[in-house]
């Protein structure tokens, strides 16, 4: 089990971006079109990575990251049980998949259900 917080998602965003887009050599090929009102012009994966690296990720906000990437999905934490957007959650991994993301409220409900 791994606890994930919004701050840890922000602090790790450049590394996760790098893993998602290991081929960052083409700075001319736009990666994204306009999405969710954050990004006016399409950017390449390399340009986004460079902007993330310049950002102080220890103090940056979700909006700072969303402005660079073009959407809030890289910092948003959504419980897979209740679909709430939360500040922290737990990843419960199983043997052969990436795991289930569960919020504190759903964890408490699970403990109560298990205890009955």
Closest to Zn ion by CB, 31 vs 107, is: 107
Distance (Å, whole) CA 32 – CA 69? 9
What is the nearest approach in angstroms of Zn ion to the Cβ of residue 101?
9
What is the nearest approach in angstroms of Zn ion to the Cβ of residue 102?
6
What is the nearest approach in angstroms of Zn ion to the Cβ of residue 104?
8
The answer to whether residue 69 forms part of the interface with Zn ion (CB under 5 A) is no
Q: Which residues of 72-110 are buried (b: 16+ CB within 10 A; e: fewer)?
A: eebbebebebeeeebeebbeeeeeeeeeebbbeebbeee
Taking CB under 5 A as the criterion, which residues in 77-116 touch Zn ion?
Answer: 79, 81-82, 103, 106
Closest to Zn ion by CB, 10 vs 77, is: 77
Look at the chain and count its residues.
116
What is the nearest approach in angstroms of Zn ion to the Cβ of residue 80?
8
SS3 label, residue 90:
strand
Closest to Zn ion by CB, 53 vs 82, is: 82
In the block, residue with structure tokens 């959650």: 89
Q: Which residues contribute to the site for Zn ion (CB under 5 A)?
A: 79, 81-82, 103, 106
């Amino acid at each position: 089990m791994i606890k994930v917080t919004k701050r840890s998602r922000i602090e790790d965003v450049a590394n996760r971006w790098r893993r998602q887009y290991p081929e960052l050599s083409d700075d001319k090929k736009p990666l994204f079109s306009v999405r969710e009102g954050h990004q006016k012009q399409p950017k390449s994966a390399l340009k986004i990575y460079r902007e993330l690296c310049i950002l102080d990720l220890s103090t940056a906000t979700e909006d700072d990251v969303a402005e660079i990437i073009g959407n809030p999905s890289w910092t948003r934490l959504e419980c897979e049980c209740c679909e709430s957007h939360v500040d922290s959650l737990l990843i419960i991994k199983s043997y052969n998949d990436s795991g289930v993301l569960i919020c504190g409220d759903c964890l408490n409900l699970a403990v109560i259900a298990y205890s009955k």
